[in-house]
Structures are given as structure tokens and as C-alpha cells.
A and B are shown apart, each in its own frame.
Chain A
């Protein structure tokens, strides 16, 4: 056999039939395909969760509106929260982690490819279970359909007494099942990073994205397990007559809160740390400088992960903890501002003195820096327990955490979409549409979530399907709703851009951004084996060394 036939494996072979292609996707164990499956699945649910949010915003646009009934409204906010956290944000995190971690550490796949596929399908099955509640939720009681207990499902609203039918059961089972998927993927990411790095890639030379994903995966194992345990206990309460959370039989509603938030707060870091990871890759490349203070960034990340496990009860300042307990959680919560601040300053220092190219990914990261700064500052306000007694459970809190999740996490994730889309699809996205998406979404975001703080300050609690006129809330609610439509328009442009570019975009080549990490050293899209020959690295920016042999990084690290 000639060497020629190996190098040219018949490029113009007839395309395989559609059914066969789909079968290939269903049975794949390739980390890149699973990553894309996670991402597409998350986008689908992003649209569903967005529709639910829009229904709520239309209902709240004016006082005593009757666009939907209270029952439907309560289902909408429960489904919106559950969907966005568990079936949009988590799959996005795992999707990008799956796709990028092996490529960036020079590996050919994840450590456990079949566990990887299993985890994805568990998560996907969990999402289906949640939405099947619209059909099967009322059970024999005719007691409503989708769950309506809120995404943190405080006891005893979830007991058989207050939640008949099966809607709560679907909620429990869907989180239980997807929780197994999350833990599986977390184990996989840790194993991959610890044992699959290419020659020369010491822990200290890993891209920051790998460090941040390692921390994220550790947090998933620590945080999701208590949630899974709590779901099992709740299921036993509901069907086997236990009384863990059954207050009518001496159970404790507060124990549920602890279980939920010892998951729920680290979960915020599970989502935001990968967002930091995107920013830590995109900002240096578009500022044309290495990340400022790499070791400090790693230390700050680990610090956030560590302190993040001890702040959960700041969600419970109003449940009547002792002054001592409240004071402890004030301190731990405020402490986390320090490593987070360090990160913001390091990103700024990375931009400082650079040549900032404001392509779409960088625009989203700049938006992220601005919004995450504000989100952090409102977070400090909420960490002040007495201030929290006023602001907690109000629209101020809703505005704050959407600032974190949308303004922080979703913005960097959009940046990541545009940054790695050429790698994943082999084609460039449309820059003009990308910028239009940014500006529409930026305006919509600020209309919605800036003005949402105000009704909270004026006493508007969250989770109310309607409100009285004359409280001074009307104007703000109108503006908030208008912003939602701008955001929806932005998302439409985004999806249109992805679809159009996938088919018609110009060819990207392997390294369209003149970047420095290993994923840009292989073709776009990468072959199933990633690298024909495993790379060997000598510094944190192997492609910089390659492009600047006269001035390589390893001289300075």
C-alpha cells in the first residue's frame, strides 16, 4: 500500500444515508460529538425556558393581569428555573467541557468514553421526564400537570398533603436521573485531566480552562450528591411513609433547605467557574497577551471552590437562624468576594496594554466583565444579612441572580459559542449577525435586569402571579417585559447565525484566531482521533512557542 492512500482517504465518498448518520450520533462515544449533543440539547431547552419566562413577563406586565391563571404561572416559574439550571446551564457546561478539555490537554478522548455517553443520555432522559409531567403529572387525582413547587421545592409544599398527583414526582425523578449523569461526567472530567494530559503538560502548564473544569467537576461531585440524597429522601417521604420533611409528623422543613442549598450554592460556582474558564481563554487571545497572573488565577479558582462549599445558608438568612449562624455565613459569603475580585482584576490586567480585537467573542466577554462586576456588588449587598432580610425573596434577588446567570454565565457562553464555533463546525460565523446579536441581547438584558432591581426595593416579592396597583411597581414591570422581547430577538439572530453559518459560512481553517492552545493545532472540525500525533508541550501557550520560535514562553515560565 502506498503512503499516498493513507494520506488521502477518499474525500468524496458518497454521503451516508440520514438514518445511518443519526444512528452514528445516538451510538457515539466520541467526546466531541457528545459535547455537541449536550450543547444542542441545551439550546433546545434554552428556547423552551425562554418561552416560559416570556409567558411570566407578559402576565406581570400590568397589575391584576389575567393572561394566565395562578396555577399556570406557578408551573411556569418552577419549570423555567428547573429547566434553565439543570437542562440548559449544566448541559452547556458539560458540553463545552466535554468538547474542549481533551482537545486542550492534547488527549484523544475522555478517560471513560462509554461513561461519557451514558451520562449524556441520563441527562437527556432527565429532561424528557421533567417535560413528560405536562402529560402525566395529574395522575389519578386530576391535580394539575407540571410541577408548581418552585425550583427549590421547599418542604412541606412537596409533601403528599400539598402536592397531590405526580407533578412533584416527575420533578424529583428528573433531577435524580440527571444527577447521576452529572456525577458521571464530573468523574470523567477529573479522570481525564489527571491522567490523559499529553507529554510535557504538567498541571502548571494546563490551560486555565482545564484547571477551572477540574474545580467545577470536583464541586459537582460534592454538591450534586446531597441533592440526590435529598431527592431520594423526599421520594421515600412521599411513597414509603417516612417523615424527613413531613412537618405534620415532626419532620423538618429547614433540613430540606440545608440539603437543597448545600447543593444550590456550590451549583452557582459549578456554572460560573466554566464561565470564568471561557473568559480566561478568550480575553487573552483577543487582547494578544497571555493571561495575567496564571498561578494566582488557579489559586483564586481553588479558593472559590473551597469557600463556595461553606456559604450555602446565606440563602436562608430569613428562616430564623441564630445571630451566630447568620454572622458566620455573612463572613464566609463576603470572603468569597476576595478571590472573585482577584479574578476580575487579572482579566483587566490581561487587557491592559494589549491590542484588544473586539470580535463578537470579546464583545461578550467585555459585557461579562461589566455585568459580573455589578452582580458581584449586589451579591455583597445580599451577603449583608440585615439588608438581605429586606431584599431576600424579592425581585432584587431575582435581578441579582439573573445578572450572575445571564449577564455572567450566558454572556461568556455566547462568547464561547462564537469563539469555538469555527473549530466545531469548520466554518466561520457571520460577524455582523454576531454583533447584532450582542447589541440586541445587551440592550434587552439591561432593560430587563437593571430595572428589575427596583420593584424589589419597593417591596415586590418574587413568585407572585399578580400584584396590586398603586405599589409603584407598574412602570418597572413594563420596562422589564419590553427587555425580554429584545433578548428573544437576540436569541433568534443567534440561532439563525449558527444555522446559516453551519451550511454557508466561509471555511475557518484550523486556527482562525491566531490562538495559542492545542485545540487550534488540529483541523476544524478535528478528526475523531483529535491529533494524528500526540503533541508535546513546553509551556502554557504551545502554539505561541511554535509561532515565535525566537521568543518562546518557556523561557519565562
Chain B
């Protein structure tokens, strides 16, 4: 019995070891598998943070190895064995040793501090080029408003930037604290009411970059997702041109319902009666891939579901359920689908 339990134990230890190794490999490979890894930087500020992080990881890793080895050695070597009850030599201290482990850490701190101070200045005090794209980001419970003041474009939830060009974001909040965090493009900066902040990024590759609000802002903090579309200059210019057009104005039942209900108190559709600013601008709603700040794909079914009761997709959303009939929902969905 003893032998089998020993074998079992050995087998258990082996499988635990294997699992441990697999997990360790997964852990090191993890940054490659995630669209929001801080270790896959694609802009200048994110890259300089990454380089500094690697330096810090090497220094702290070395400290860990040294101190952990000392601890492991002490635990193994000086553990009590046998029945020897005599007291070991009583040592009270040593000034030389104390001095050594005071001075060496001070030197390490100085090096880390200088490396850090350089990167802080490099990112925070970077000069703003004259041609930099200006975007104002306004955090709302629980969505993002983007305004391009010099281009006269207003949109929501999906930020578009040209590749390879610096974009300077002015960060404001309409209500509570939020934080703008797209890990591959840079660190996070908070959006605080009455306290304008700024940050910059110059994405190196085209594509979609994900992130989300990183400062607790209320019930739906979790579904305040960030989507940044980095496009070639031509695609970006085309997008700006499209967004600058007024909305399609036709005559439809849906539009009459939209303008007759309180929808217009919160939403804007340029060129119509709808001029509210509490909710997202809907002028070019159908140019966006998602609704509800990235919480659901922008499909007809989801639009209808959202208008019937926003709480189904985002419980705690500030948009009320309007108690619409099926006919009204059909008409409204049809109207929204014309907002291209």
C-alpha cells in the first residue's frame, strides 16, 4: 500500500510539474494571444514604456533571484535536524553587512530612478508638432464622445486615427471619472471632470485597437469599451469626408417617431431637429461597427433589441426603455439604418 501511494504521489508530482510548465509557457506566450497586451506596443509612447518595463523587469528579476536563493538556502541549510537542542551561536548584528545592504539598494534605486525620470519627461514633455491631429475625447456614463474640432467632425465610441501621425487627445469628462486605456497604443490617462488632461499617440500600423475604460465610473464601467481604428491617410480622409456630410433627410415614419419622442433630447442627427448632446451623435450611426460603446455588433436585430430595452444589453445604461410597440420599433430601426 505504501509503495502504491508513493507511486501515486510521484505521478501526482509529475503531472503537477507538467501542468506547471504548460501554464508557465502559456503565461509567457500570453502577450501574443491577446489584442490588449501591454507587451505588444505599436506607438512611440507605448514602445518607450515597453523598453523601460523590460529594463525594470530585468533588474527586479535579478534581485528576486539573489534574495530568493538566499532565502531558499537558509530554509534548507539551517532547518533544525535531529534532536540537537543546543542553541546556535548568538549573533547580534554587523555594521559592515548592514552598510553593504543599505548602499547597494540605494545605488539600484538611483539607476532605476534616472531611467524612469527620462521616460516620464520624454512622454509628458514631448513637443506637439504643428500638424498634429487634435481630438477631444469626452467620457460619459458609459460611452465615449470624440470631437475633431479642426475637422468639424463629431462621432461616438469608435475613434479613427491616421497611421504614423501623432494625435493629441484632450481628455474631458461629462460626469464621473473615466480612464482612456488602449494598451498597445499607450498607457492610460484619466478623464476627470473639471480637470482637462491630455495624451498623445502615433500608431505605427493600421488596424483595430481595443481597450476599455480603466477607472471605475459607475454601474456599466465594464461595458465602456474602446475601439480605435487606425487607417491609412487616404482612408482616414475619406472617413472624415463621409462624417462631415449631413444626415440623409427623407420622410419616414421612423424619423417622425424619433423626432416626436424624447430621443431628440439626448441624440443629435445633423441637419434634423435632433440636437441633444447627452447621448451619442447618431448622424452616421451606420458607419460604426458596434453600438452601446462596443457592447454589441451594429446589426438590425441588436439595434431593435437595444431600443426595446437597453438594459438587456447594458443593465444600468442611462438610456431609458421607451416602451415602444413592435411597429414603432420596426419604423425606428428602419430610420436608423438610413443614417449612413
Contact = CB atoms under 8 A, between A and B. Distances in A.
Interface residues of A, number: 100
Nearest to A547: B87
A458 B36 contact: yes
Contact of B98 (A342, A388, A466): A342
Contacts of B198: 320
Interface in B195-223: 195, 197-198, 210-223
A496 to B, nearest CB: 25
Contacts of A251: 194
A331 B36 contact: no
A464 B222 contact: yes
B271 interface: no
A69 B315 contact: yes
B56 A384 contact: yes
Interface string B13-39: 000000000010011001101111111
B68 to A, nearest CB: 7
A296 B176 contact: no
A54 interface: no
B190 A318 contact: yes
Contacts of A464: 212, 221-222
Interface stretch (B88-96, B157-165, B278-286): B88-96
B116 A74 contact: no
B316 A381 contact: no
Nearest to A385: B120
Given A290-B92, A330-B116, A348 B74 contact: yes
Contacts of B35: 459, 470-472
A479 B27 CA distance: 12
B52 A386 contact: yes
A352 B69 CA distance: 13
A199 B37 CA distance: 61
A394 B214 contact: yes
Interface stretch (A10-18, A37-45, A154-162, A222-230): A154-162
B91 A353 contact: yes
Nearest to B27: A454
Contact of A391 (B23, B38, B171, B194): B38
Given A290-B90, A459-B37, A471-B34, A318 B75 contact: no
Contacts of B221: 74, 463-465
B215 A357 contact: no
Contact of B188 (A296, A337, A354, A390): A390
A296 B186 contact: no
A363 to B, nearest CB: 10
A227 to B, nearest CB: 19
B249 to A, nearest CB: 35
A105 interface: no
A489 interface: no
Interface in A318-340: 318-320, 322-323, 326-327, 330-331, 334-335, 337-338
B36 A70 contact: no
Given A331-B113, A387-B49, A387-B56, A326 B188 contact: no
A366 interface: yes
B216 A463 contact: yes
Interface in A441-485: 451, 454, 457-468, 470-473, 475-476, 479
Interface stretch (A122-130, A370-378, A418-426): A370-378
Contacts of B71: 348, 366, 369-370, 373
B53 interface: yes
B176 A70 contact: no
Contacts of A248: 193
Contacts of A71: 219, 315-316
B183 A459 contact: yes
A356 to B, nearest CB: 5
B105 A390 contact: no
A344 interface: yes
A71 B314 CA distance: 11
A457 B106 contact: no
Contact of B30 (A288, A345, A472, A556): A472
Interface residues of B, number: 92
B38 A473 contact: no
A460 B212 CA distance: 9
Contacts of B27: 451, 454
Contacts of B80: 355-358
Given A288-B88, A458-B34, A471-B34, A320 B192 contact: yes
A338 B106 contact: yes
A550 to B, nearest CB: 12
Given A156-B175, A354-B78, A472-B37, A337 B109 contact: yes
Contacts of A479: 23
B92 A294 contact: yes
Nearest to A323: B124
Contacts of A320: 171, 189-190, 192, 195, 197-198
A370 B79 CA distance: 16
B239 interface: no
B194 A390 contact: no
A506 interface: no
Interface stretch (B57-65, B145-153, B229-237, B251-259): B57-65
Given A251-B194, A470-B35, A381 B53 contact: yes
Given A71-B316, A380-B112, A459-B37, A289 B90 contact: yes
A64 to B, nearest CB: 10
Contacts of A338: 102, 105-106, 109
The winner among B94, B117, B197 for most chain A CB atoms within 10 A is B117
Contact of A254 (B26, B192, B216): B192
B326 interface: no
A293 B218 CA distance: 50
Contact of A292 (B75, B93, B194): B93
Contacts of A318: 179, 187-190, 214-215
A250 interface: yes
B195 A254 contact: yes
A251 B57 CA distance: 40
Contacts of B144: none
A253 interface: yes
A529 B222 CA distance: 56
A393 interface: yes
A-B pairs, top 5 by smallest CB distance, nearest first, are A389-B187, A459-B36, A472-B34, A464-B222, A320-B197
30 contacts: A154-B177, A154-B216, A156-B175, A156-B193, A157-B216, A318-B215, A319-B197, A323-B124, A323-B125, A327-B120, A334-B112, A338-B105, A342-B105, A345-B101, A351-B78, A355-B78, A374-B64, A390-B53, A457-B37, A458-B31, A459-B35, A459-B36, A464-B221, A465-B221, A466-B222, A467-B222, A468-B225, A471-B34, A475-B26, A551-B90
Given A69-B315, A323-B124, A334-B112, 12 more contacts: A74-B216, A154-B176, A251-B194, A320-B192, A327-B121, A352-B74, A353-B89, A377-B64, A384-B112, A457-B31, A464-B221, A468-B225
